[in-house]
């Protein structure tokens, strides 16, 4: 018999027990809704229970940010938590039909928020983004974004616009954010990123000209970095760090 485990969300945070475990044996009693996270055949079957932000939580439990839990997760845990968090956010934000305004109902077969009034179905939202490491021989271009902590530098990223290919988005974002041109844009790997529902498509690109000119809004500074000295980099579980580590490994 398949066993079952439950993730309890309070808003966008996860409830953990006194030992820090986030997998619960029981569903949360006061859950506003419960959704399947695992796919057919997964053992244990995983569910998410969504509690109201001000809902009561068992006294011995506390809530933990998703970002903190992802920081310690292995690849399988990362995938499960990312999926669960995105489904939780999606369903909390799609309680009403975006076409006619009637309340939606969860469709069990294909995980859609279904409107019985006008028959419209809203599926979990996924927003494709590009993230790119620009290299010029033995150096790479990293940028300090306005929302980073002091000294943090990372790769460039941005949402793909309607009607645009991922490669076009790479060239546009790079030009907009730091003012340089790139070519030889090549896909590397992707990551599902649950803040709040991005699919990060990771690329490498070669510097093709232009002077670094940060846009001053999203990007406050950008510089070339070689193997040493490196600035403060994003944590290991991020795709940006994986791109940077891949670049550094190619220098060995
Ligand atoms: Zn409707």
Does 191 fall in a domain? yes
Q: How far is the CA of 103 from the centre of ligand 1 (A)?
A: 8
Alpha carbon 121 to its chain centroid, in Å, reads 24
Asked if residue 110 belongs to a domain, the reply is: no
- State the CATH number of the domain containing residue 141: 3.90.79.10
Cα dist. 52→30, 45, 92, 221, 244 in Å?
A: 8, 23, 10, 40, 39
What tens digit of pLDDT does each residue of 175-211 get? 999 999 999 999 999 999 998 899 999 999 999 999 9
Assigned domain for 49 exists: yes
**Predicted pLDDT of residue 55:** 60
For residue 77, the SS3 value is helix
Domain count, the chain: 2
pLDDT category at 214 given cuts 50, 70, 90 is very high
Confidence of residue 42 (pLDDT cuts 50, 70, 90): confident
In this structure, which long-range contacts are made by residues 35-42, counting pairs with CB atoms below 8 Å and at least 24 apart in sequence? 35/87, 35/88, 35/91, 35/106, 35/111, 36/111, 37/7, 37/80, 37/83, 37/84, 37/87, 38/80, 42/2
Tokens in use for 163?
Answer: 């009607």
Q: How many C-beta atoms lie closer than 10 Å to residue 245's C-beta?
A: 13
User: How many whole angstroms from 128 Cα to the centroid of ligand 1?
Assistant: 26
Average pLDDT in the chain: 92
**Domain's final residue, options 73, 93, 113:** 93
CA of 196 to the centre of ligand 1 (A): 24
Percent of the chain whose predicted confidence (pLDDT) is above 90: 72
Residue 111 lies in a domain: no
Whether 51 and 145 map to the same domain: the answer is no
Higher pLDDT, 236 or 155: 155
Start-end of H helices in the chain: 66-71, 75-93, 166-178, 239-250
Distance 114 CA to ligand 1 centre (A): 8
Q: Is residue 116 part of a domain?
A: no
Q: Are residues 127 and 159 in contact, defined by beta-carbon separation less than 8 angstroms? A: yes
- Within-domain flag for 102: no
Dist CA 174 CA 207 (whole Å): 10
pLDDT of the residue at 202:
98
Last residue of a domain, one of 45, 76, 93: 93
> Domain range for residue 192?
127-250
């Amino acid at each position: 018999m398949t066993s079952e485990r439950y993730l309890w969300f309070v808003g966008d945070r996860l409830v953990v027990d006194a030992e820090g475990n986030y997998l619960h044996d029981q569903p949360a009693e006061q859950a506003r809704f419960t959704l399947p996270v695992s796919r057919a055949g997964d053992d244990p079957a995983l569910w998410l229970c969504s509690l109201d932000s001000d809902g009561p939580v068992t006294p011995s439990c506390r809530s933990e940010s998703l970002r903190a839990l992802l920081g310690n997760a292995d690849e399988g845990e990362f995938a499960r938590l990312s999926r669960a968090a995105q489904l939780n956010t999606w369903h909390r934000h799609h309680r009403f039909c975006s076409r006619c305004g009637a309340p939606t109902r969860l469709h069990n077969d294909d995980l859609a928020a279904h409107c019985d009034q006008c028959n419209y179905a809203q599926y979990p939202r996924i927003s494709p983004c590009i993230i790119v490491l620009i290299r010029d021989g033995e150096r790479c271009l990293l940028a300090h974004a306005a929302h980073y902590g002091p000294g943090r530098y990372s790769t460039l990223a941005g949402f793909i616009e309607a009607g645009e290919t991922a490669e076009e988005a790479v060239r546009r974002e790079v030009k907009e954010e730091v003012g340089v041109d790139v070519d030889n844009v090549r896909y590397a790997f992707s990551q599902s990123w649950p803040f709040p529902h991005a699919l990060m498509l990771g690329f490498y690109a070669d510097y093709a000209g232009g002077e670094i000119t940060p846009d001053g809004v999203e990007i406050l500074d950008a510089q070339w970095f070689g193997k040493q000295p490196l600035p403060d980099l994003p944590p290991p579980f991020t795709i940006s760090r994986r791109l940077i580590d891949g670049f550094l490994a190619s220098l060995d």
